[in-house]
Amino acid sequence: MLEIEITGIAPGGVGFAETDRGRVYVRDTVPGDRVEVGKRRSERGRTWARVTRIISRKPGLREPACRHFGVCGGCDWMDLPYADQVAMKREMVEEAFRQERLRVEVAEPIASPEEMRYRNRVSFCFGNGDQGPAIGLYERSDPLARSRELPPVVEIDECLLVPEVYNRVKQSVRDALGETTLRAYNPETRAGVLRYLEIKSSSDRVVVDLSVANDKHVPVEKLRDKLSEESNGVSGFAISVGRARSRYGPPKRHDVVFGDETHHIDLLGKSFRYSGAVFSQVNAFQIETLYTKAIEMLAAEPGDTVLDLYCGVGTLSVLIGDAVGAVTGVDLDERAVFDAKENAARNGQADRCQFVCGDVGDGQLWKTHLDRYHRVVVNPPRAGIAKRAVEGIAATRATRVIYVSCNPETLARDCRLLSAHRYSITRVIPVDMFPQTTHVECVALLERT
């Protein structure tokens, strides 16, 4: 056994201590904690240890607002005052760049104006309960503990991060599925049916998407009756069918059960359509702030050509369309590209914004569609930029690259890769889109030297 004091925080919210044998990473700790840890082990190039006894916690902790905190994996830091959460997120981003040996000043994070009820999108998980399917969020667990079994699901009566109507919708789905024998889908074994329940909303709409591996025994009529009750305020309900290992993989079939599955969000004077399960930012109070910072950093000029990689529904493309000569957006999701074209048209940008459905990591795409650009914007998933895309960005010879990221580690890694192509990271602004969690969004500026 070893007694240590946690002195730093790494990306992912992992605490670490400096010992006479080097750095030791300890999950579920923060700077200021004193803990006793067990046997150390090497994993993924780091030395890890598990807490065997908590000696003392960081001073100034608060009582968590949610009774499920500590068991539910949805929130990591609800016992930390929000100001401390924001400060630690800055430290995490700084540490990510230190690990890649890059020097950059990380700005003070932009805090969310609301730390509860801020989400406008959530995906609830399914588990196997004693009396029918369980719906909630996975229990907190050690990511390094490999298993082919699904983690247990915490059945949450009220999640405090989402609008209250989401909890009513979740209960209605639970009631409709309660008498079935449907099992939760396990992507490792490909067994089971129920994948996840996604709920999205805008100012006047609530849209529900039930994802299943197959819909042979799904009680569609019961679900229709429950979700169409006036108290739920659901304006559209769809069922997505597919067996992709990734929950983000496109379904093989997407059937609208009732209403309109799209929802619309107004941003910076423009209106955007989002279909079904296409990606959208989750913090209703921070979306405009995030995009405003990206646009300011881009510093586009009239006549500039801009390449928008991982463009989604074309939000940034359309927002900057008025100020530049032309924008080309690229995304792999056909549904998102369809919405992007619709969004350009509805906002009067169809003549300036064109969109290509393709894989950013595909070399052939760069040969046939992509060339020189003055500016590049990238907003990739957590895995970061594909290696071929790094080379493609360099080939554009763009003077500025704006990188919007939800993962500080892959952001820093990709900035290091781009530095080999004469791009220097000059500015990073964290934007807290995810209060109560260890996640943080960043907007970074790279300039060609």
Virtual torsion, Cα 139, 142, 148, 151, nearest 10 deg: 0
Has residue 144 got a pLDDT over 70? no
Determine the Cα–Cα distance for residues 258 and 239; give it in Å rounded to an integer: 10
Q: Which residues pair with 123 in a beta bridge?
A: 198
Give the relative orientation of helices 387-396 and 408-419 as an angle to the nearest 10 degrees. Answer: 50
pLDDT for the residue numbered 147: 61
pLDDT tens column, 248-297: 667 888 899 999 888 889 999 999 999 877 889 999 999 999 999 999 99
pLDDT tens column, 147-156: 667 889 999 8
| DSSP 8-state code for residue 232 | G
- Amino acid identity, position 339: D
List the domains of the chain with CATH numbers.
2-59 (2.40.50.140), 121-265 (2.40.50.1070), 282-448 (3.40.50.150)
Q: What's the pLDDT band for 217 if we cut at 50, 70, 90?
A: very high
Q: Which residues pair with 430 in a beta bridge?
A: 442
Q: Give the largest CA-CA distance in the chain.
A: 66
Task: State the pTM of this model.
Answer: 0.93
C-beta separation of 440 from 97 below 8 A: no
pLDDT tens column, 383-422: 999 989 999 999 999 999 999 999 999 999 999 999 999 9
Run of H or E residues at 148: none
Q: What's the pLDDT band for 158 if we cut at 50, 70, 90?
A: very high
Question: With 0-12 CB in 10 A as exposed, 13-18 as middle and 19+ as buried, what is 12?
Answer: middle
Determine the Cα–Cα distance for residues 391 and 382; give it in Å rounded to an integer: 19
- Amino acid identity, position 437: T
- Residues sharing a CB contact under 8 Å with residue 230, sequence separation 6 or more, in sequence order: none
Residue listed under structure tokens 């969000």: 265
Count of alpha carbons within 13 angstroms of residue 286, beta-carbon side: 27
Distance in Å from the first CA to the final CA of the chain: 50
CA distance to 78, 211, 269, per residue, from 347 (Å): 40, 31, 9
